[in-house]
Amino acid sequence: MEVISKSPRETQKIAKDFSKDLKPGDIVALYGDLGAGKTVFIQGIAQGLKIKKKITSPTFVFIHSYSVKIANQDSNFYHLDLYRGETLHDFESLGLDEIINGKNVVVVEWASKIEDRLPKKRVDVTIKAVNEYTRRITIERN
């Protein structure tokens, strides 16, 4: 599926709608250049999951977690931002095997840095800037 967003608010709405299809165990891998709108997309997912806290990128700590209810199940929403990491070794202490466990929803910014550690069954979201405000968002469920 490919959609065009003409503003950050529209990107959040697209992500909020997308979040309605998320189930415990879903992994969302985000791809896009710096400033493409990955965090804005995650903010929309968080709105859809009824997370009330302000969503910011965990750039320096790599990971934030939030308790959520998904499909009437207690779960966790994990937001990973791997921008500052360089190698798989940098991410070993995150406990990826523990959080990618079939019960949580995990969204990964800069997913290309750990792509070979992510399950093949996931949702890939690619965000490309068309111009200052317009984004082409491609969502593929593998």
C-alpha–C-alpha distance, residues 93 and 136, integer Å: 34
Q: What is the mean pLDDT of the chain?
A: 90
Q: How many separate domains does the chain show?
A: 1
- The per-residue pLDDT for range 67-124, each reduced to its tens digit, is 998 878 889 999 998 887 766 666 666 777 788 888 899 999 999 988 888 899 999 9
C-alpha–C-alpha distance, residues 95 and 73, integer Å: 22
The residue segments making up the domain with residue 35 are 2-141
CATH number at residue 7: 3.40.50.300
Entry pTM:
0.90
- Higher confidence at residue 62 or residue 40? 40
